[in-house]
Amino acid sequence: MTTDTTTTVAPTGERVLDARGVTMRFGGLTAVRDVDLHVNAGEIVGLIGPNGAGKTTFFNCLTGLYIPTEGEVRYKDKVLPPKSFKVTAAGIARTFQNIRLFGNMTVLENVLVGRHTRTKEGFWSAVLRGPGFHKAEAASRERAMELLEFIGLENKADHLARNLPYGEQRKLEIARALASEPGLLLLDEPTAGMNPQETRATEELVFAIRDKGIAVLVIEHDMRFIFNLCDRVAVLVQGEKLVEGDSATVQGDERVVAAYLGEPFENAPGDEEIAEVEAAEAHADSADTTTDAAPGKENDR
């Protein structure tokens, strides 16, 4: 593990990300509605919610891929520019729900591409490897190798990215994001498709990233992963933030349970059927009580 050279690490507790009133509409569809969310330095914050809740759209609003219809996003007190490369340069890095690696480039080259916002040679130089590239990039390569060591892929630096097993491709995406020396890392479903061992390893990796002074905001469906990892969890349902709090608060909130079990909310279609089922169950329960209780009472006498 290494200390990086370019990131200014915010003191613990300082607000790194501050999103206020973020709304994103696509025509008639409001994918994200008036969402406030902040991340402090030193924190790991989770963002959960059913499919289609607007989680990825919210990430896209934070990273300049989308310009929010309403609202404002600040990183370390500065309003973010509406361009993703400028957001990366400002200090926010991300991974994608669908892996976006350069499959025909090596593992090391993929990490080097991630460094282009931090080197004066720039993206095309990294891709085309023009004259003098190797010399000029010596420091970058060293740093990229350090990152590969950090995620445990240093022995595969020369492999083509597309030949890596799926779980390792996900880790490589994280290394590439870290190569931009971020102060905040956004992870969109980092354990999707991983086996339980890989998921546990990713948990450790995220803790290690936090320990390097990088705040983390993570979307994930694996609740065990989320509740083990996060200091705070926010729940998005149909584009709106339903609940936010520590693991116990969120896990104990019946609206969250309802959202995850797919139960209809109050007045939603289906209430009548549920009422019928509940009435039938109550009837069955009272019948059970009478038959069970009777012999016991007799014995007590």
Ligand X SMILES: Nc1ncnc2c1ncn2[C@@H]1O[C@H](COP(=O)(O)OP(=O)(O)O)[C@@H](O)[C@H]1O
User: What letter represents residue 277's amino acid?
Assistant: V
Select 5 or 98, whichever has its Cβ closest to ligand X. Answer: 98
Residue positions counted in the chain: 301
Output the smallest distance, CB 282 to Mg ion, in A: 40
Which of the choices ligand X, Mg ion, none does residue 54 contact, using the CB cut-off of 5 to 8 A by kind? ligand X
Output the smallest distance, CB 58 to ligand X, in A: 7
Select 95 or 110, whichever has its Cβ closest to ligand X. Answer: 95
Nearest residue relative to Mg ion (C-beta): 56
Select 55 or 116, whichever has its Cβ closest to Mg ion. Answer: 55
Output the smallest distance, CB 97 to Mg ion, in A: 5
Output the smallest distance, CB 57 to ligand X, in A: 3
Q: Give the C-alpha distances (Å, rounded to integers) separating 264 from 7, 269, 283.
A: 46, 7, 23
- Interface mask (CB under 5 A) for Mg ion, residues 76-115, using x and -? ---------------------x------------------
Rounded (10°) angle between helices 196-211 and 166-178: 10
Q: Phi and psi dihedrals of 80, rounded to 5?
A: -75, 140
Select 97 or 238, whichever has its Cβ closest to Mg ion. Answer: 97
Which of the choices Mg ion, ligand X, none does residue 52 contact, using the CB cut-off of 5 to 8 A by kind? ligand X
Which of the stretches 23-31, 55-63, 85-93, 98-106 binds Mg ion when contact is defined by CB under 5 A? 55-63
CA 209 to the chain's CA centroid: 13
Q: Kindly state whether residue 180 participates in binding Mg ion, applying the rule CB under 5 A.
A: no
Which of the choices ligand X, Mg ion, none does residue 176 contact, using the CB cut-off of 5 to 8 A by kind? none
Residues that bind ligand X (CB under 6 A): 26, 29, 31, 49, 51-57
CA distance 119 to 139: 10
Rounded (10°) angle between helices 107-114 and 138-151: 110
Q: Kindly state whether residue 57 participates in binding Mg ion, applying the rule CB under 5 A.
A: no
Output the smallest distance, CB 56 to ligand X, in A: 3
Q: Phi and psi dihedrals of 45, rounded to 5?
A: -115, 135
According to DSSP, the residues that pair with 70 across neighbouring strands are 23
Q: Kindly state whether residue 56 participates in binding Mg ion, applying the rule CB under 5 A.
A: yes
Which of the stretches 49-57, 132-140, 161-169, 277-285 binds Mg ion when contact is defined by CB under 5 A? 49-57
Give CA torsion, residues 144, 150, 151, 156, to 10 deg.
Answer: 50
Kind plus residue range of the DSSP H or E element containing 50: none
Residue 279 CB contacts under 8 Å (≥ 6 apart), including other chains: none
Select 150 or 225, whichever has its Cβ closest to ligand X. Answer: 225
End-to-end Cα distance, the chain: 72
Task: Judge contact between 226 and 54, C-beta under 8 A.
Answer: no
Strands 44-48, 215-219: pairing is parallel
Which of the choices Mg ion, ligand X, none does residue 81 contact, using the CB cut-off of 5 to 8 A by kind? none
Select 126 or 216, whichever has its Cβ closest to ligand X. Answer: 216
Output the smallest distance, CB 29 to ligand X, in A: 6
Token duo for residue 71:
């609202």
CA distance 232 to 39: 9
Site residues (vs Mg ion, CB under 5 A): 55-56, 97
